[in-house]
Chain A
């Protein structure tokens, strides 16, 4: 069974902390994505990557950065966490030649 694994289900961090969200996929997918999901706003794309060491900004990249050193791992970094980054964060991966993402279970991040 193919899987996208997010390292934490729930996180509570303080304002100003640097936060790392980890995502690992075991499907040898080229593409990986980070979304945040908020009520009424749906899924918003933060960053995505089509290949190792490659990254592209999504719709809301401000306050975030990413790292993809290995094909299977895509990390989201909140440089200095703020309360408006409290959200559900979803990682996804896909193959290049077809649509359809496989999502992780999500990380619910609370910044206090």
Chain B
């Protein structure tokens, strides 16, 4: 079993939709949670960074962590065609924050 599971998609939604991207994990020691966005033929870029449980909002993006269920989510409101990309979740343990464990990524397509 992988430490981090992520549905590969593709997920196809119309412009303006609310998108929900999710990851589950098995290691309860994870404390730091991140979302990366990767456009085609580019490297991943850090989108959201959260510590422990709770929500974090940044513009149209909300990251949510539910440690009791070992489940993290990224919500995108009012999705735009420019949001079309692959989204990777990543997480790490305390005192080992340098070593990230990545999900395989979910490909999102937002059509006009």
Whether A100 contacts B103 by the Cβ 8 Å rule is no
Known: A41-B104, A42-B104, A43-B102. A99 touches B41 (CB 8 A): no
Max count, chain B CB within 10 A of own CB: residue among A41, A43, A90, A104: A43
Q: Give the distance to chain A from B66, nearest Cβ to Cβ, in Å.
A: 19
CA of A43 to CA of B34, assembled, Å: 14
Decide yes or no whether B58 CB sits under 8 A from chain A: no
Q: Give the distance to chain B from A33, nearest Cβ to Cβ, in Å.
A: 8
Q: Give the distance to chain A from B95, nearest Cβ to Cβ, in Å.
A: 11
Residues of B within 8 A of A106 (CB): 41-43
Decide yes or no whether A70 CB sits under 8 A from chain B: no
Q: Give the distance to chain A from B79, nearest Cβ to Cβ, in Å.
A: 23
**Would you give the 0/1 interface string for B34-59, flagging 1 where the beta carbon is closer than 8 Å to chain A?**
10100001111110010000000000
Q: Which residues of A are in contact with B by a Cβ distance under 8 Å?
A: 4, 31, 40-43, 48, 50, 90, 92, 94, 96-106, 108
Q: Which residues of B are in contact with A by a Cβ distance under 8 Å?
A: 8, 32, 34, 36, 41-46, 49, 88, 92, 97-100, 102-105
